């Protein structure tokens, strides 16, 4: 069996040799993760899981709602802060653009281009308007 050899150097000389302050060394060795930091790390993992599960479409309100349904206690502002720190942002929706023509087909021909009306009510024109309803776009 191989015994480990450990060589002990004084902290002061080691810090001087490595160009590190002693207070910085003691801060580094003595810091344990606080309960809040551990909880934030666990929450960040859960947020990333839900975020990627929904393909980046969920923002902080929906992620908060999803986590609460799963029994994770968290607030929307905390989730938003953790998302900002981890550079997670929900993808925006594409704007609805109604298409009046089918792909591959051109627009209808202008049949009144050559007409010169001589009295009222001889030529009429209209436009298509899309209205959002509960049934969908009409």
The full DSSP string for 63-75 is HHHHHHHTT----
Each residue's pLDDT tens digit, 72-92: 999 999 999 999 999 999 998
- Using pLDDT thresholds of 50, 70 and 90, give the confidence band for residue 121: confident
Please determine, for residue 133, whether its predicted confidence score (pLDDT) is greater than 90.
no
Say what the pLDDT of residue 27 is: 85
* CB distance 63 to 83 below 8 Å: yes
Q: Mean pLDDT of all residues in the chain?
A: 85
In the chain, the percentage of residues whose pLDDT exceeds 90 is 40
Each residue's pLDDT tens digit, 22-67: 888 888 887 777 889 899 999 999 999 999 999 999 999 999 999 9
Q: Is the pTM of this model over 0.75?
A: no
Backbone phi, then psi, for 58, in 5-degree steps? -90, 135
């Amino acid at each position: 069996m191989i015994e480990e050899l450990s060589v002990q150097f004084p902290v002061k000389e080691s810090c001087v040799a490595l160009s590190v302050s002693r207070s910085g060394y003691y801060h580094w060795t003595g810091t344990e993760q606080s309960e809040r930091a551990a909880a934030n790390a666990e929450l960040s993992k859960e947020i990333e899981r839900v975020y990627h599960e929904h393909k980046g479409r969920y923002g902080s309100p929906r992620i908060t709602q999803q986590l609460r349904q799963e029994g994770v206690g968290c607030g929307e502002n905390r989730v938003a802060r953790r998302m900002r720190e981890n550079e997670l942002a929900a993808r925006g929706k594409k704007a609805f653009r109604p298409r009046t023509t089918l792909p591959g087909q051109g627009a209808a021909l202008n049949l009144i281009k050559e007409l010169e009306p001589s009295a009222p009510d001889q030529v009429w024109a209209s436009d298509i308007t899309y209205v959002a309803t509960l049934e969908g776009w009409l």
